[in-house]
Amino acid sequence: MIKPNLLKVTIDDLDNINNVQKNMFGDDALKKDIVESLVLGGLFLKLDSYNENNKLIGFIAIGLTGELIYPKIYSLAIISKYRNTGYGSYLLKSALKKLPEYLKLVDNDDEYYKFDKIALYVRKNNQNALKFFMKFDFEIISKEENYYSNGEAAYYMEKTILNKIS
C-alpha cells in the first residue's frame, strides 16, 4: 500500500461519493440526503491517492442514528482496484482513532460519553467484509432477514470502543 492522503469528505465530494455509492451498492446505496447529512454532521473520511492526481481510493461514513443506541458505520468502501492491499484497514483504523473526538463533540459530556460500542450492518454473504470486520474485533450480534433490497439478510455487528478521551 502506498500511503494515501486521509481527508475529511466535504460538500464538494458529494457527487463523486454518490456515484461510487450507486455503482458499488446499487439499490442499497445510501440516499443522497443521508450522505449529505453525514458529510455535515458525521465523521466522514476519504482516502485520495497521491500518485494518481488525488483519485478517490475509498471512504468511511460514521454517524449517530435514532434507530440504534450506538454510532454506526453507514458506509465503508474501497474502490475495487485498490482492495485487499491494506487501504480499508488504514481507513477504519484512522476513523476509530478520530472517533472519541467526534463522539465527545456530539455527546457534549465532560469526560465520559455514553457510547462504548460502534455498530454496523453487513451482507450475510459478503465474506470479504465479514472477515475484514472480524479482524477488527467486530462481533455478530444478530441476523436480520430481508434487510437488503434483494431480500438478502444482514448481520448486525458491534465492536467495543473506548468511551473516554485518553
Ligand X SMILES: CC(C)(COP(=O)(O)OP(=O)(O)OC[C@H]1O[C@@H](n2cnc3c(N)ncnc32)[C@H](O)[C@@H]1OP(=O)(O)O)[C@@H](O)C(=O)NCCC(=O)NCCS
- Interface residue with ligand X among 18, 49, 89, 94 (CB under 6 A) is 89
How would you classify residue 29: left for phi > 0, otherwise alpha for psi between -120 and 50, otherwise beta? Answer: beta
Q: Is 83 in the site for ligand X (CB under 6 A)?
A: yes
Enter the C-alpha cell of residue 56: 478517490
Backbone φ and ψ of 41, nearest 5°: -125, 5
Instruction: Give the C-alpha separation, 143 to 121, whole Å.
Output: 9
Q: Which residue is nearest to ligand X (CB)?
A: 88
Q: Is 132 in the site for ligand X (CB under 6 A)?
A: yes
- Interface residue with ligand X among 122, 147, 154, 158 (CB under 6 A) is 122
Q: Is 86 in the site for ligand X (CB under 6 A)?
A: yes
Show contacts with ligand X in window 30-69 (CB under 6 A).
none
Which of 106, 28, 21 has its CA nearest to residue 60? 21
Rounded least distance, CB 163 to ligand X, Å: 23
Rounded least distance, CB 114 to ligand X, Å: 24
- Interface residue with ligand X among 20, 30, 78, 157 (CB under 6 A) is 78
Do 115 and 82 form a contact (C-beta atoms < 8 A)?
no
Residue 56: other Cβ atoms inside 10 A: 22
List residues binding ligand X (CB under 6 A).
24, 76-78, 83-89, 120, 122, 126, 128-129, 131-132, 135
